Amino acid sequence: MSSSNAAPARGDDAGKPPMRDALVAAAFRLFLERGYERTTVDDIVALAGVGRRSFFRYFPSKEDVVFPDHERCLADMEAFLAADSGDDQPVRRVCDAARLVLLMYAENPAFAVQRYRLTKQVPGLRSYELSVVWRYERALAGYLRARLSGLRDGVLRADVIAAAVVAAHNNALRSWLRSDGKGDAEAAVDHALEHVRAAFSAGPAVTAGGGSDDVVVVVSRRGAPLWRVVQELETALGRG
């Protein structure tokens, strides 16, 4: 699966950066110099040399300028899932869909690390980010619910798998961000998602019908490291 590149924004004049990119650059320059809370939309547009109307044409709020590509990425994910012909393994499909988020971050590692640091410092941004993560999870769960609708506890299974994909992806992504974007982010996310595929791909929870109808649900505390969740799952499956 190839990365879906960002749609090119329209520049104001030849040789000038696109207005959207200029607004993001101006915002982060001010966030770093003054702090997020002390920076206003008026400050951002003044530095970018545009009017307030131009800002709100691209971003509904100041929070949105911190996460400029998530709407595009969510749309790409939903389109990718919708393009499934029905022949793909659903767990593999949602793992591939999650990689679109990683590839978005990897397009600009320096910006991704900057945003990660800023988000850690501002509680409001952390809450905003969690709402974005929830929307990704809901997109994955919606696809899985449709694919597993004929199975017993299909909704439950879909939601558990979607949550596992998001947890595995975010565990690897945040480790990469904490390392200041060093190392192979794609390899780290692939390694984490392999645990999800190993846990769910072979069982009846992701097949179209027939066979055993057993399901194992593991409950783990929020924030538990991925290795602990996998260890608990392996124990529940009798592999520990």
What CATH number is associated with residue 186?
Answer: 1.10.357.10
Cβ neighbours for 173, distance < 8 A, ≥ 6 positions apart: 101, 102, 105, 185, 188, 189
pLDDT top residue among 202 and 123:
123
- Does residue 14 lie within any of the structural domains? no
* Confidence band, pLDDT 50/70/90 cuts, at residue 224: low
Same domain, 89 and 175: yes
pLDDT in tens, 75-98: 999 999 999 887 779 999 999 999
What percentage of the chain carries pLDDT values higher than 70?
77
- Which phi-psi region, left, alpha or beta, contains residue 44 (left: φ > 0; alpha: ψ -120 to 50)? alpha
Which range has highest mean pLDDT (2-11, 16-25, 38-47, 200-209)? 38-47
Going by C-beta distance under 8 Å and a sequence separation of 6 or more, which residues neighbour residue 123? none
| 26-65 pLDDT tens trace | 999 999 999 999 999 999 999 999 999 999 999 999 999 9
Least confident of 15-24, 48-57, 171-180: 15-24
Q: Are 124 and 130 in contact (CB under 8 A)?
A: no
Q: Domain range spanning residue 54?
A: 19-63
Q: What is the Cα–Cα distance from 32 to 51, expressed in whole angstroms?
A: 22
Judged against a pLDDT cut of 60, whether residue 180 lies above it is answered with: yes
Question: Which CATH number goes with the domain that contains 53?
Answer: 1.10.10.60
Return the structure tokens found at 184.
Answer: 């192979």
Query: Is residue 42 domain-resident?
Result: yes
- 102 — pLDDT class (breaks 50, 70, 90): very high
Question: What are the beta bridge partners of residue 18?
Answer: 11
Are 158 and 176 in a shared domain? yes
Backbone angles phi, psi at 185, to 5 degrees: -65, -40
Indicate if 224 and 179 belong to the same structural domain.
yes
Q: Which residues are 11's β-sheet partners?
A: 18
> Cβ of 37: how many Cβ atoms within 10 Å?
11
* Mean residue pLDDT across the chain: 83
* Residue ending a domain, choose from 8, 34, 63: 63
- Examine the pLDDT at 196 and tell me if it is beyond 80: yes
Could you tell me the pTM of the whole model?
A: 0.74
Burial 127-138 (b: 16+ CB within 10 A, else e): ebbeebbeebbe
With the CA atoms of 107, 109, 112 and 116 taken in that order, what torsion angle do they form, in degrees rounded to the nearest 10?
150
The confidence band for 190, taking pLDDT boundaries of 50, 70 and 90, is very high
